[in-house]
Structure formats: C-alpha cells, structure tokens
Amino acid sequence: MKLFIGIVAATIFLIGCSASTGSRYETKKETGKETSTEETKEVSEDFDITPYQTEIDIEVPPIATDKLPPDVWYGYGDQSSLNDRMIVGTSDGYRVQVLSTDDIDEANRVRAEVYEKTTRKEVYVIFEPPFYKVKVGDFTSKSEADNLRFKLNQLGYTESKVVQETVNLFE
C-alpha cells in the first residue's frame, strides 16, 4: 500500500513539473498571426493661437477686512460687556477647538484670525504637549458650543470641533 501511494505521489509530481509554459510565451509570429508595427511620429505644431486669444478683465470686488457687524454674532454677548468681565471661577464645560498644530506661529496667527472674525474675547492658545491648540469660548452647555462650531465651520475652519474641558466662569 505504501508503495502504491508513493508511485501515485511521484506520478503527480512529475506530471505537475512537466507542464509546458511555451504557449503562454510564444510570439505572434510563432502562432501564425501577423504583427503590425506602428511607427511613432513626432508632430510639431505650426499654428500660433496668440492673435486669437481674448483678454478677459474681471473686476474683483475688494474684500472687507474690517470686523464683522455685531448682528452676525447675535446671541453671543455684547462686546462692551466682554472687556469688563471678571473670572469668578471654573467649571466643567465646552470649548470649540479650531486648530491643533506643533507650530506656535501658526497657532498665534489662527488665534488672531479667529479673534477678529468672531469678535470673541475668549480665544485661547493652549499647549498640550506636543501640540498647540487654539480653542474658543467658555460654554457650560454643549448646544452653545455646537452653535459656535457651526459658525466657525461656515467661516472656513472646517476642522473645528467641540471639546469638553474646564472653562472659566465670568460674573
């Protein structure tokens, strides 16, 4: 019985090794089919389009660089009251994280942009190794933070997200 199994295994091995791959690698000439050789030619352009180009002048309206009107941020407090507020304590709450970067200059630049665009006084650059994080606001409810995140998203800060942390309480 062992001899029979050995003969069968050797036969299968020899048949498997003797398979020809010649048909896969034959050229078209060997199979009897004609091959067509195409020559590649370089084409040079002799047409000059410059006399036919149209000059289009589009007036670009100037971009306003001043602060946004206060009614854009309706419901986020009066600016005059933000300057006079005192911190009376801290509590668990929410802030909107606008940026996380390892470059302090980029963090300060984004902080200045957000400060001007949102007219918010609570814009923080917090170092949490190894990143500098720009965070906005001191909210005790998540819905207020979500509203600010939505508005920051509309202003182009698409990476902004609401984070939970200890916030300042003002009088």
- Kindly state the helix (H) or strand (E) to which residue 34 belongs, with its residue range: none
User: How far is the CA of 81 from the CAs of 76, 77, 84, 144, in angstroms?
Assistant: 11, 7, 6, 18
Looking at domain 90-170, its CATH architecture is 2-Layer Sandwich (3.30)
CA distance 82 to 31: 87
This model's pTM is above 0.85: no
Sequence ranges of the domains in the chain: 90-170
Output the tens digit of pLDDT for each of the chain's 171 residues: 888 898 988 888 777 766 556 555 555 555 555 555 566 777 777 878 778 878 777 787 766 655 555 555 554 544 444 556 788 888 999 999 999 999 999 999 999 999 888 876 689 999 999 999 999 999 999 999 999 999 999 989 999 999 999 988 887
